[in-house]
Amino acid sequence: MKLEPYWLATAPPFTAAAPGPVGGRADVAIIGGGFTGLSAALAFAKAGADVVVLEGGRIAGEASGRNGGHCNNGLAHDFAGASATLGAEPALALYRAFDAAVDTVEAIVAEEGIACDFRRSGKIKLAAKPEHFAKLEKSHAALAREADPQARLLSRADLTAEIGSDAFHGAILHPKSAMLHVGRFAVGLAEAAARNGARIHEDALVTAMARQGGGWRLETRRGTVEAGQVLVATGASLKGPLGWFRRRIVPVGSFIVATEPLPRALADRIMPGRRTATTTRIIGNYFRMAPDDRLIFGGRARFAMSSPQSDQRSGRILEAGMRAIFPELAKTRIDYCWGGLVDMTADRFPRAGERDGLHYAMGYSGHGVQMSVHMGRMMARVMGGDASANPLRGLDWPAIRGHYGRPWFLPLVGLWYRLQDRLH
């Protein structure tokens, strides 16, 4: 079993990284080479801006390359709950932004000719208990009436065409959702940005930054660059001079295993609909088939940070969960096991905007594949003068009391969520 993300292990190498030290001037510097940063770099470069990307490791080496490969529309929240929190119109606007985000990924794949197995698969949200299906019925009624008339309610009998398991009691089908190979997409996105003139530096962790005249001076371990504008696109990074953001982002571990390639007949039995899937438990699971017929199966598993040892322990929990849902996989080998950090906000709504001249986009809370790509493109427009392009404008973002970067409270949160899953 390999302790590395399947997506990164099976992606082609990125060969267009900028050579030599970091230096000179740029119109825009982007901190972070994940989907937000790379999408913004592509948009800026196509608009004629001189843009530099400063990535502390490898492109898409963190959350962008360590997820489940889902590209789903829909919020992290029940739509009615989001409406109660934000108001009906803001919740609808945000829901439509997530719809637009899937469109943005599809458009970039087509425009740049990126071979990443993008497919409008649809998503099924599976009721893990009978009472969960009753909640899904109410949720679907509000969703279909107010935001997404294409969403369909599936009974338990309907699920035989979608999933080869008796573990679930119905679902909501979201037809607009998609899937892709995120590793190949990342390389294609980075190559497109570089092809249009963006300078992308890997292994260039930003260690200090300061205002300088009308712009910024950024120091990295490979040199210093000056820029007129800066976009912070780091997600849950625990490194660098980003304390203001770390007080507002909770890094939560999410873990994934990938099986060996399954015989086609077996793959057809366990996932005949070939959709992305999520479950309704708070500590739930998400899964899908890979292009080579592996099952990619993930979840929180443990409320812990990612490390090789932690990933292995979490992988064993996921493997047991996978076999409980799909007994036919009792003897199937696990080939890959990995973890990563989800950049959670306290209310699970993403954030993007500007603070003291510093622009940012992050906090995707486990729904970032599509929204990160979309917000990179939108923030390029915002920084070009179109403030209305930011669908997240106006959201307050207070610091989390007692939180300064390391989430000391995660084990307690995990215990509380496990109790809720048992009781409800």
Contact between 200 and 51 (Cβ < 8 Å) = no
Is the pLDDT reported for residue 301 higher than 70?
A: no
Looking at the structure, give the CATH architecture of the domain made up of residues 6-413. Answer: 3-Layer(bba) Sandwich (3.50)
- List alpha helices for 274-398, DSSP H: 308-325, 368-383
Q: How confident is the model at residue 302 (pLDDT cuts 50, 70, 90)?
A: low
Listed by start position, the domains of the chain span 6-413
Q: For residue range 20-45, what is the model confidence (pLDDT) as tens digits?
A: 899 999 999 999 999 999 999 999 99
Q: Which residue has the tokens 């929204």?
A: 371
Longest dimension (CA), the chain: 65
Q: Which two tokens stand for residue 256?
A: 């994934």
CA distance 189 to 173: 29
Q: Which residue has the tokens 């996989």?
A: 329
Strand, helix or coil for residue 41: helix
Q: For residue range 316-338, what is the model confidence (pLDDT) as tens digits?
A: 999 999 999 999 999 999 999 99
Q: What is the mean pLDDT of the chain?
A: 94
Q: Which residues pair with 219 in a beta bridge?
A: 208, 224
Q: pTM to 2 decimals?
A: 0.95
Q: Give pLDDT, residue 410.
A: 75
Is the pLDDT reported for residue 420 higher than 80?
A: no
CA distance 117 to 122: 14
Is the pLDDT reported for residue 273 higher than 90?
A: yes
DSSP strand E in 72-143: where? Answer: 123-126
